[in-house]
Amino acid sequence: MNLLHWFPFCGYFLIALVLTINAFSRYQQFSKRLTIFAFLCYFVIILRLCLTPVTFSFITANRNLRYFHGVPYNLLPFQQLDLEWFLNVIMTIPLGVLLYLVGRKSSFITVLALSFLFTFFIEGNQFVCDFLFHIGRVADIDDIITNTIGGVIGFYGIKLVDRGFIDKIIHPFFLS
């Protein structure tokens, strides 16, 4: 396997590590540092799932893919509703929970925009990194839709249970 394929993952990992260390300097409480560490872990997991080389693809032959200089992408939403669709929603529910810990009073538009931007970052990087480093990924409009939905579900799911004793448990982990 070509080590150049791992360049995007390693580069973003180093950036995330530096940002985490910087964020640690702003918060002295263990619980808040644990929230920041959870962000780092989640981001690294997402990087591993989305920006590392693969030799297989979950996308079946039923999708109508387009190609840009050999890089596959899909701009036609909802060609098929399969397990991958639901797994993409589940994958970003933790993002919504973490967004809630950062700003539990955020508006719906803010949560939607942040979930969308995070997802667009992932899919955009999959496209660019596959073009530059041949990591074998497909940028897919369905992923943008499902990941955004997952982030919103995570935010409002934790907001829904943030009442009574749950508030006392998660309150120390809020960064705001």
Work out the burial of residue 24: count CB atoms within 10 Å of its CB; fewer than 13 is exposed, 13-18 middle, 19 or more buried. middle
Work out the burial of residue 115: count CB atoms within 10 Å of its CB; fewer than 13 is exposed, 13-18 middle, 19 or more buried. buried
Residues recorded for the chain: 176
The ranges assigned to domains in the chain are 4-57+76-173
How is residue 29 annotated by DSSP? Answer: S
CA 56/CA 33 separation, integer angstroms: 36
CA 55/CA 173 separation, integer angstroms: 39
pLDDT tens per residue, the chain (176 residues)?
588 889 999 999 999 999 999 999 999 999 999 999 999 999 999 999 999 987 655 554 567 889 999 999 999 998 888 888 899 999 999 999 999 999 999 999 999 999 999 999 999 999 999 999 989 899 999 999 999 999 999 999 999 998 877 888 999 999 98
